[in-house]
Structure 1
Amino acid sequence: MCIHLNLMIFTKIIRGFIRAKHQLAQSLFPNFLEYSRFVRRCNALLPSIQVIRQALVFKEVEGMSVSIIDSFPIPLCQPIRNFRSKVLGDYANVGYNATKGQYFYGFKCHALVSESGYVIDYTITPASMADSSMAEEVLSQFGTPTVLGDMGYLGQSLQDRLELKGIDLITPVRKNMKQKKILFPNFSKRRKVIERVFSFLTNPGI
């Protein structure tokens, strides 16, 4: 289901991007291809674009020691319609946004980001999917030796499984835990990078 959702969301994003680029090209070149032919050309190039992106990601993560993992909500309606909305009902559902302290209907994007703000990998799931349950999938291709997560990734079982794969997952600690401090320099400051990336991606003014 995650793969199908990724493809569906990615397709919608690409359609909007292609339409905008076509309008720009037509304004610059009056004899430019009509929209339908332009779309066919772009579709034919999609496999090549995916290969190029993967190569760029491999280059970006080469030698990288630290990355940041988190998720952000993709609501499809206002909270008041959470349990009435039928938009993409076969895939979307209701989840909880801990940051805003409210429930939402839609999807959730789980992402891995570099300290420079580069989106390394991501996956789209129904809104109810817990962050911790998707961590291993998000880290499966481009996991770095150290990954910074928030409370959503707290759990010894997950940390142990990732440790077997050579990944040290660093998270905040609860007040009742023996370890009272996060043993990682500037943890909160370094995690703010992914918050800025998510803010950019979800800003409706973009």
Structure 2
Amino acid sequence: MHSIKSNFDKILCVLRQVLGEDSPIFKKQVKPGPKTTFSDIEIIALACTAESMGHTSENYFFALLSKKDFPGLLSRRQYNDRRRKLKVQIEEVRKQVLSQIVTAQQVFIVDSMPLRLCRFARKNWVKIGAQHHYIKPNVGYCASQDEYYFGYKLHAVCSFEGAVQFFDVTPASYHDVNYLDSIGERFNETRKNNKDYIRLIADKGYTSQSYKKTLKEESKISLLYDSKANAKIENISFIPEPYRNKRKRIETVFSQLADQFRIQQNYAKTLVAYFTRIWSKLLSMTILNYINQKTNKPVSKIKYALM
């Protein structure tokens, strides 16, 4: 990793290349209060810089910033306010960056990971999302770690190369198989005129004959998973051998989110701030995927992107 300034310049350069100089997000918006020379695109670039370098404490991160390197830098409070207002734009920018990453095969992997808000023993004291009944955090079970946790669940679909195509955040108790209900529509939005069959690799948590049939008939998606031990003989299915080891790609993505981007560490005080940080982490990862592809590095090895 290089300095904050050099990483910021690389990320800002990518955003300008992908979005173009005429993008509305470059235009300074008239806001009440003191005028600022820090544009919205620089706000997003600074947020991605912090996330890609693993800074979870904004107070410490701003203490590292030099006025010499960032002459128009605004206060931490102004930065937080404007970044939260840019939550929708952050996801739109991620989609634009993702559209520039070439996917060689029509094979994707779906899985989920826990997003813990706090230690399980402190779940009754957490107020984040308590007033939002439609996406209120609750207790879920993580089978891979054999433990209950309190918070949310991140559902993601990534390519063979390791770039996250789309994602959603749900309460922790939301079952993985129910996420298949929206996958067909999400793929139909992104594939445009491409009518080739898509292969979607999943684990046993996505076992569903009805969803498998619906995805195949309505969205031309072939759902591949290994059947559970108690499955009926006529419903038994297996992941083909060429794709069997590729399912681990999304586990690598989740490990990167946990280790490099520290997605499990939460310092947000509101639900909007929490989700904005999640969105920023996913955008940062996509930018690093893009940099790797442009420099002929493996897309998934994001730690090498800013070297």
| TM category, shorter | 0.7 to 0.9
Question: Which of 154, 157, 174 in structure 2 is aligned with 1:129?
Answer: 174
Is 2:200 the partner of 1:147?
yes
Q: CA deviation at 1:80?
A: 3.2
What RMSD in Å do the two structures reach over aligned CA positions? Answer: 3.4
Aligned residues of 2:107 and 2:198 also touching (Cα < 8 A): yes
Is 2:111 the partner of 1:70?
yes
Aligned residues: 193
In 2, Cα distance between the equivalents of 1:51 and 1:205? 20
Residue of structure 1 equivalent to 2:301: none
* Aligned AA (1:124): V
User: CA 1:21–1:125 in structure 2 vs 1: closer, same or farther (change >3 Å)?
Assistant: same
Is 2:98 the partner of 1:57?
yes
In 2, Cα distance between the equivalents of 1:132 and 1:117? 22
In 2, Cα distance between the equivalents of 1:191 and 1:134? 17
User: CA 1:184–1:30 in structure 2 vs 1: closer, same or farther (change >3 Å)?
Assistant: closer
Q: CA deviation at 1:99?
A: 0.7
Q: TM-score scaled to structure 1, two decimals?
A: 0.75
Aligned residues of 1:131 and 1:152 also touching (Cα < 8 A): yes
User: CA 1:67–1:23 in structure 2 vs 1: closer, same or farther (change >3 Å)?
Assistant: farther
In 2, Cα distance between the equivalents of 1:187 and 1:63? 14
Aligned residues of 1:110 and 1:138 also touching (Cα < 8 A): no
**Matched residue SS, 1:129:** coil
In 2, Cα distance between the equivalents of 1:80 and 1:125? 21
In 2, Cα distance between the equivalents of 1:81 and 1:56? 38
Question: Which of 257, 272, 277 in structure 2 is aligned with 1:201?
Answer: 257
Aligned residues of 2:138 and 2:172 also touching (Cα < 8 A): yes
More strand per residue: 1
In 1, Cα distance between the equivalents of 2:171 and 2:85? 30
Relative contact order (alpha carbons < 8 A, sep ≥ 6): 1 or 2 greater?
2
Q: TM-score scaled to structure 2, two decimals?
A: 0.53
Is 2:155 the partner of 1:114?
no
Residue of structure 1 equivalent to 2:245: 189
Is 2:87 the partner of 1:87?
no
Q: Which runs of 5+ in 2 are unaligned?
A: 1-43, 189-196, 263-307
User: CA 1:23–1:116 in structure 2 vs 1: closer, same or farther (change >3 Å)?
Assistant: farther
Is 2:226 the partner of 1:172?
yes
Aligned residues of 1:154 and 1:171 also touching (Cα < 8 A): yes
Identical aligned pairs, as a percentage?
Answer: 26
- Range with bigger deviation, 69-78 or 129-138: 129-138
**Matched residue SS, 1:34:** coil
